[in-house]
Amino acid sequence: MQYRRVRIASVAHVLPQEVVTSDEIEARLLPLYERLGLPAGRLELMSGIGERRFFPPGTKPGGISGQTARLAIEQSGIDPALIGMLIHGSVCRDQMEPATACGVHHAAGLPAAASAIDVSNACLGLLNGMLVAADRIELGHIDAAVVVGTETGRGLVEGTIDSLNRDESVTRADVKQAFASLTIGSGSAAIVLCRDDLKADASRLLGGVMRADTSHHQLCAGDVAATTHGDDRPRMATDSEALLHAGVGLAKETWADFTREFSWTRGDIRKVITHQVGRAHRKLLLEGIGLEQEKDFPTVQFLGNTGAVALPTAWSLAIEKGHIAKGDTVALLGIGSGLSCVMLGIES
């Protein structure tokens, strides 16, 4: 799919203040480590994640998303009255009903004519949301849209720590299934998209491709654990190694579609932003599609895996730090459990 009328008016992020290191997480897991004879330092060694950030206990994503949406709108210079849609795309949400987007819409001060919907697709929610919004802008149905999300990973990480320490039947194999849960962090990101005549000097969303391999839908699954663990915090089971290789395989197939869609060679792509999972994923992905690591802007080492906001946050930071310059052709390479893959092309 290709767009001719869609601009990226702004990309913004909000990060929590509290920093939690991998060493601190392992210190809390000391009873488990001693019982199973696990070496200290393995969490950072295996993931490449030195630290991540958390919002205060009890924080709901909608309140933070409202702040981030307002920030992105302010940075965009777009009149809020022109915004015709707000999409909330993170894994985390305030409740099952109504859509978290409703509260965010209110907090952002958007007009009644702007629709508010949630889009959920694991770590791809914001990228899928961008495509939904871009379709409507390209068709002339709306002038502008906000896509926003917030991941609050504290409950998953702390719940996983408590479960691993409390259950003395936990084995090394169980720890392996829980490993990915300990890499999670928190954050918030938002993107404002608009029609080209509203922001003629802004980056262009050129289009993108999508691909799915749902034969791997059971490799990573999470839910609230009231029945199995006795509390309302989520838990997640992940076959990290199988997910890594299946994900990179799907990414390579999607990459072939992506470069064919735009008639691009690897040399045409100046910068790349990837989903932030860990060191091994980044290395295998970039090697698999033949891109130099210097083109990427990793944040996982200090933010952890922040789910659906990981790639947009890295994108926002890459712009802020000058990694992406005017005129750069940028590839956004997203992947989410399920498995699904979205790749978007940007002309900065």
Instruction: Kindly report the backbone phi and psi dihedral angles of residue 52, in degrees, each rounded to the nearest multiple of 5, phi listed first.
Output: -145, 175
Rounded Cα distance between 299 and 73, Å, is 24
Rounded Cα distance between 179 and 104, Å, is 32
Exactly one of 92, 123, 194, 220 is catalytic; name it: 123
Return the sign of the alpha-carbon dihedral for residues 273, 245, 261, 192: negative
- The two tokens of residue 301 are 């080492």
Rounded Cα distance between 189 and 295, Å, is 21
- Is there a catalytic annotation at residue 123? yes
Rounded Cα distance between 253 and 216, Å, is 15
Rounded Cα distance between 295 and 273, Å, is 8
Total length of the chain: 348
Residue among 3, 18, 2, 8 nearest 315 (CA) = 8
- Is there a catalytic annotation at residue 194? no
Give the active site residues.
97, 123
